[in-house]
Structure 1
């Protein structure tokens, strides 16, 4: 299985942060949290599509990946209410 990245789908245009300290997107609100495989041939760059098929071009990757230690779920707990149901179903399978 390839590396998995947590990707933040952000609101357009920028608005207030949804999680104040360390939130991605320089003040843009996170709309949805997705998962994406690594780009072909690398383990450091997210691929072009999330597991649910959305384009990752305008998304921001999280600082940690689900494969790193001390993670109880594949997404950050602060964003539990914003997790994409389709990506979550693929990650749980």
Structure 2
């Protein structure tokens, strides 16, 4: 199974910016989740994360775990906000 990393974001804050956010708005990553790829479309996120949350309002990360052999499934800078339930599913 192929997993896609998705970000659960907080509300917009006008203090800085992340790529893809308009005019200096910052969307802080609240939690990093993993989601299976949609059936038949390996680059699209399925409807639910591995922990069961809806992916509709989540942002797909630019991080692809398969491109980083030996690294964690999530970007290292977000280690403190990784969803423990998604992490447990991946680790088993």
Same fold (TM over 0.5): yes
1:64 deviation in Å?
Answer: 2.1
> What is the TM-score normalised by the length of structure 2?
0.85
Cα separation, 2, equivalents of 1:31 and 1:69: 23
Counterpart in the other structure of 1:60: 59
Q: Which residue of 2 aligns with 1:81?
A: 80
TM-score, structure 1 as length reference: 0.84
Contact 1:8–1:24, Cα closer than 8 Å, also in 2: no
Report the number of matched residues: 87
Contact 1:8/1:61 (8 A) holds in 2: yes
What stretches of structure 2 of length at least 5 have no aligned partner?
A: none
Equivalent-residue separation in structure 2 for 1:77 and 1:71 (angstroms)? 12
The 5 Å alignment of 1:1-93 reads 1=1, 3-12=2-11, 14-15=12-13, 16=15, 23=18, 26=21, 27-70=26-69, 72-93=71-92
* Structure 1 residues 89 and 33: CA distance shift in structure 2, 3 A: same
2: CA distance, partners of 1:82 / 1:25: 20
RMSD: 1.7
Write 1 or 2 for the structure with the bigger share of strand: 2
Q: 1:74 to 1:29 in 2, by over 3 A?
A: same
